[in-house]
Amino acid sequence: MSAFVDGDTRVVVQGITGGEGQFHAEQMIEYGTNVVAGAVPGKGGQDVAGVPVYDTVAGAVREEDADASVVFVPPAFAADALYEALGADLDLVVAITEGVPTQDMAGVKRRLGETDTALVGPNCPGVITPGEAKLGILPGNIFSEGRVGLVSRSGTLTYQIVDSMTQRGVGQTTAVGIGGDPVIGTSFVDALDRFEADPETEVVVMCGEIGGEDEERAARHVAGSIDTPVVGFVAGRTAPPGKRMGHAGAIVSGSGAGTAASKIEALENAGVPVGDTPEAVVETVSDLL
């Protein structure tokens, strides 16, 4: 069982004829991901990296039995690509695109609520089950098979903590970067539920950052519904109020909500140990296994 993807996941790459889409499709295939199709309007009938291209996601689902997509489509057209994917009854959609307008994503989020599809992203590195499949831009060589699930708003922080875990012999079941935009598909709560349902995941690492209240909501959820041990990290402890730090959602309002301190307090009150550094997180995880 896997929290999001496994070796049987059949993937369609939206935007596969573009430079980034083709490059990362080839990287996913090299990793072992079962990429069965591409989808680009008006490009049907082509072949990219040995993968047939269809005009629509629905065509890829119909002809290749695809059940997941990964989106490498420019920001101006990303919402249309996501609407198309949500209309194709896929199990999972992973949106890598950065810079999708918030208003566009608000509409996509409403549509998402009418489906059974899980959306990861946008503005995220994707999702990986080490040794089986990766959807997105994650560097597969730093991941290793193991018993720790990881969910993070930051791609770079994901890489840092995963690399530290791997160097210490601590492998991962699945790692998912949910993205740092104000409006995203999969939340911390959603990811925690998936890891809770995965019998192979024995510990979960949750990497948050300043801005919004997702970490506080996750803390309440851990306290009430999650039995799997969770270890936390919150980036942005020294960020000044009113300054956006990296992600569009990483900004602290003048009200004091969304600060690193408030998130750390909420997590610790829920029984979640929070590491001061990524290395401290890995040490805590090692002690729990």
- Residue of 280, 134, 152 lying closest to 205 (CA atoms): 152
**How far, in Å, CA of 155 to CA of 180, rounded?**
9
Cβ proximity of 160 and 278 under 8 Å: yes
Upper half-sphere CA count for residue 91 (Cβ side, 13 Å): 12
Active site residues: 247
Quote the crossing angle between the two packed helices 188-197 and 214-225, to the nearest 10°: 30
**How far, in Å, CA of 211 to CA of 240, rounded?**
11
**How far, in Å, CA of 227 to CA of 233, rounded?**
19
Cβ proximity of 152 and 158 under 8 Å: yes
- Residue of 175, 137, 113 lying closest to 31 (CA atoms): 137
